[in-house]
Amino acid sequence: MMTVRLMALLTCLSAVSASAAPPVGTSGKPADLPAVTSATLVEVAVEPLTPAAFKPFGEAIVVPEGQPPTADTGAARYWGGLAKDRFAEEVEFGMLSVAARPREVAELQRSVRSPTFLAGLSGEWVLVVAPPTLAGRPLLASRVRAFVVKPGQAVLLHRGTWHADPFPRGESGLFLVAVRDGTVKKDLKSRSFKGKEAVRIP
């Protein structure tokens, strides 16, 4: 479910231009494309990104309202500790380029051994997620939620959180990704929704 092969990470990283071909999933087939006509479509509304709303899926990294900065030099203010997790090995940083595409999702992806940090570097974008499931349990479209992430915000996904590649609200988007080294090749798996369902977001 990535956008062409990426330079290094996350939901499939390999530097690719915004004008590249349709996204390709870990199975090597096009992903995040319109659902087949026989699929049952589940409409999912887009909601604002807040720490409370995003808690089942990970950490929402936003400038906290009403909270004084951890450090303040007058010219620069820093808010620390907004999200924390442990990476068991070296951390891999990469850039993800995603072209605009139809906002229908028939499958999601996840890594079970690494949290995933994702920050947009240009414009607003929408992140489609579903909570972690136990091995062998079905992935349900009814549990999907979608969040709009604004400039200056980022997310840190829990291990096992299901997600789609970001949906840029413009023609393309560029993203900074950080995961445990080797995640894309060894620990990124995709799964379709139960009952051949598909999710559509506005």
Copy the structure tokens of residue 199. 């999710």
Task: Give the per-residue pLDDT at 38.
Answer: 59
Q: In a structure prediction context, what are the per-residue pLDDT tens digits for the chain, which is 202 residues long?
A: 433 333 333 333 333 333 333 333 433 334 444 444 457 999 999 999 999 999 999 999 999 888 899 999 999 999 999 999 988 889 999 999 999 999 999 999 999 999 999 999 989 999 999 999 998 899 999 999 999 999 999 999 999 999 999 999 999 999 999 999 999 999 999 999 999 899 999 9
* Contact in structure between 157 and 163 (CB atoms under 8 Å): yes
Contacts of 128 (CB under 8 A, 6+ apart): 44, 105, 108, 144, 145, 146, 163, 164, 167, 199, 201
Tally of CB atoms within 10 A around 31: 25
Copy the structure tokens of residue 8. 């290094």
Task: Give the per-residue pLDDT at 6.
Answer: 33
Distance from C-alpha of 173 to C-alpha of 190, rounded to nearest angstrom: 22
Task: Give the per-residue pLDDT at 31.
Answer: 45
